[in-house]
A and B are shown apart, each in its own frame.
Chain A
Amino acid sequence: MTAPGASSPVTSLVTGFVGELRAAGVPVSMVETIDAMRAVEVIDIGDRAGLKATLAATLVKSERHLAAFDTAFEVFFATAPRRTQDKPDGSPASSPGEGGASGGLGEEDLDDLRRSLLQSLLESDMESLLDAVGGAVDRLSGFERGRPVGGTYYLYRTLRRLDIDEIESLLREALRGREGEVSELDRRLVDEEVAARIEQLRQAIQDEIRRRLVEDRGREAVARTLRRPLTEDVDLMHATRADLEALEDAIVPLTRKLAARLARRRRLLRRGRLDFRKTMRHSLATGGVPIDPQFRLNRPHRPEVFLLCDISGSMATFARFTLQFTYAMSTQFSKLRSFAFIDTVDEVTEFFGPGTDFSDALARVASEAEVVRQDGHSDYGTSLATFLERYGRDVTPRSTVIITGDARNNYRPPQDELLGEIAAKARAVYWLNPEPPSYWDTGDSVMSRYARWCEGVHEVRTLRQLEAFVEELSLPRSRPRGRLH
């Protein structure tokens, strides 16, 4: 093989693309970059889909990073936008950039456009669909060169003026007629088919707008605006539904990797003091010479965890992930008890018994746990008081108490001395707050009142931060740290 010259266009293309991937947070190693360069040499580079598969196979090694890869690829290797040619019959194809309300586009033209979109959706004809989409974006998006708005703006503009709901119902009607549906089941299947094809149309429009943005502003600029955080860095408080689903899928593999790492570190830490008796016993085999010193094994430290989650409206998603993550890690703890609170607290451990479905358990927490006594607004003070009264005597120097919530107490008395009482009984109290530290103590947040009694207060807004916290929690420290005061 000839060494790929550093200046060959393919090499610089791959290097540039790797740069974009890294900027989007996807880890790509040097070896993988070289692999990609070698791979690109043996394939037909004119085949765009093939190029995409090749780069994905060599550069991306986790399903979690595929979405980021897709976006980066579509921008970096964007094809030219499809524009409509002027029709031979002389009817005007409105020039792009004229952003007027209807831009000289009559109802008739619009109907034509809808009809051709519908036709290509019905026949699943990708080529003609893309052409029709090009026309639609030309005429309806009101695309303006150099205007600093995001692609979403143009997307919604196009969808609204196209009246996508109308297209959807026309498509449904046409498909129902064609399928000759007879039962509820058939109806459901048709509806799903319609939903899939409409999604295809949306996607096509979005892609087309992106191509124009790339053409207008250059790929670096567009790629920068489209970068989305990786699954492990998604902000739990502002996650979309799709994000949440991806997060849920990522939790179990992540916890297993973390558990393996902890087990390995623990093994290294297990070796303790010299065991004199055992060493002597072993030395008998070598005529009394202690060739093989024996050591005591330290008992692995497995904390007993009390997890208290604020499950009021704004905190519900966050509580869900803390619970799910902690239960996935439960083998790392000698005991795990969970509690939910809003303005009072209730134990929910039994809902998460072995063999139960996690979503069922969460649903039971939401419906069966008695967490509201007054008005359903968070009241940390009363919740702490109830916890202390009902479960306080179970908290021992072996217990680690973890509280999750934003410490926004709705201006009620924080009663933080109660947390002090809990801290005095427990091994340690930790607080996980999904808000960034700059928000703490603003408005009704009383974070620092509680922080005095905590071993640590952590900002936890992403899976990565949660993982780091559980790792810290599960490993023994060499010496106890002083409490924050």
Chain B
Amino acid sequence: MTTTVPSIDSPAALAESLRTVDYLADDRIAQVAFLAERLGKPILVEGPAGVGKTELAKSLARMWDRRLIRLQCYEGLDESKALYEWNYKKQLLRIQADQDKHWDELEDDIFSDEFLLARPLLEAIRSETPVVLLIDEIDRVEIETEALLLEVLSDFQVSIPELGTITAATRPFVVLTSNNTRELSEALKRRCLFLHISYPDPEREQEILLTRVPELPENLARQIARIVRSIRQMDLKKSPSVSESIDWARTLLALAVEHLDTEVVADTLHVLLKYQSDIEKATAELTRR
């Protein structure tokens, strides 16, 4: 795509552009994304699994036609995986190759850009064109590791002792996601705009279903959205996510179902729910008279 993206001057325009890449943003999502862009601040998106937190970042990248750089967080993530690492094997080779060189010369040489392995955060900072940086499931890293991100998030720079401070050429648009399995540190939260996304109401979910599965009959979409709401009100181990209700819609379409009744629901519920105990509970509830 070479067409320049029209500048987005209001939250409504942003929601409209997001719609062109098949992401239906409600007013709140559009407002916060608009604000983040204007203020140059990261967004921290929180909410249950599968409500489209990661998808938001991906869609924004697609909408602006920017590259998406993703840092998937996990327990034990460290500097060398998140920021940068020296390619010491290559450094070693260089030392061996230049054995007759003086140490000072060599030192300057091996701690240079050539031997630096950029990891997602540094890569996002150094990119010549603006990128969308997605830091996914930040609640998985230990609270100490969060501190790694602080410099990047507030000043958009990375300090490397041997090289000095690298400041962003272009400001990345940063999205952090969290499933809220633990409280994040105040320092991190202070640097971000906070956006809580919960399950959509049936009207919006119906719209999402129709956008993502265009062949779906409207009537069926409405029924699906309502049954999913009904199931989400039950006390289950894992409530169905939006992506799971999309999967369910695709399944029903493939089975050429036109109208949902108790039997069809009971037969296909395993697409929506992932625990046997949940499936049993939901089946019992839905078929109870």
In this assembly, does A184 line the interface, its C-beta being within 8 Å of a C-beta of chain B? Answer: yes
Q: Is A35 part of the binding interface, using a Cβ–Cβ cutoff of 8 Å?
A: yes
B181 an interface residue at 8 Å Cβ cutoff? yes
In the bound complex, how far is the Cα of B146 from the Cα of A264, in angstroms? 14
Interchain CB contact (< 8 A) of B183 among A44, A54, A57, A256: A256
Size class of the contact patch on chain A: 35 or more
Contact A256 B182 (CB under 8 A): yes
Question: Is there contact, CB below 8 Å, between A253 and B181?
Answer: yes
**Does the CB pair A257–B193 fall under 8 Å?**
no
DSSP majority for the A interface? helix
B-chain residues with CB within 8 Å of residue A357 when the two chains form the complex: 237, 277
The answer to whether A189 touches B230 (Cβ under 8 A) is yes
Contact, CB under 8 Å: A42 / B35 = yes
- A58 contacts the other chain (CB 8 A): yes
CB neighbours of A183 from chain B (8 A): 261-262
**Which among B35, B186, B261, B265 is the interface contact of A57 at CB below 8 angstroms?**
B35
Partner of A63, one of B10, B46, B192: B46
Whether A32 contacts B190 by the Cβ 8 Å rule is: yes
Q: What is the distance, in angstroms, from B37's C-beta to the closest C-beta of chain A?
A: 10
User: In whole angstroms, what is the CA distance A251 to B261 when docked?
Assistant: 38
Give complex CA distance A38, B180 in Å.
28
> Which chain B residues numbered 144 to 202 have a C-beta less than 8 Å away from chain A?
144, 180-183, 186, 189-190, 192-196
Of B77-85, B106-114, B221-229, B250-258, the stretch lying at the interface with chain A is B221-229
User: Given the complex, which residues of B lie within 8 Å of A192, measured CB to CB?
Assistant: 226, 229-230, 233
| B194 lies within 8 A of A254 (CB) | no
Interface flag for B100 (CB, 8 Å): no
Q: For the complex, is A289 an interface residue (Cβ under 8 Å from B)?
A: no
Binary interface encoding of chain A residues 16-56 relative to chain B, with 1 for a CB under 8 A from any of its CBs, else 0: 00000000000001011001001100111000011001101
Task: Give residues of chain B (53-76) contacting chain A, Cβ–Cβ below 8 Å.
Answer: none
A359 on interface, CB distance cutoff 8 Å: yes
Contact B262 A57 (CB under 8 A): no
User: Is residue B38 contacting chain A, with contact meaning CB distance below 8 A?
Assistant: yes
Q: A183-B261, A189-B226 are in contact. Are A35 and B289 (CB under 8 A)?
A: no
CA distance A254 to B183 in the complex (A): 6
Give the residues in chain A near B182, CB-CB below 8 Å: 253, 256-257, 260
Contact with B along A186-201 (1 / 0, CB 8 A): 0011001100000000
In the assembled complex, the Cα of A359 lies from the Cα of B277 at a distance in Å of: 13
Considering the chains assembled together, what is the distance between the CA atoms of A43 and B35 in angstroms? Answer: 8
Whether the pair A184, B226 counts as a contact (CB closer than 8 A) is no
B181 touches A42 (CB 8 A): no
- Give the top 6 A-B pairs by smallest Cβ distance, nearest first: A256-B182, A53-B31, A61-B189, A257-B183, A57-B193, A53-B28
Asked if B31 contacts A50 (CB within 8 A), the reply is yes
Query: CA A49 – CA B194 in complex, angstroms?
Result: 16
Complex Cα distance, B23 from A162, in Å, reads 42
Known: A39-B39, A183-B261. A260 touches B31 (CB 8 A): no
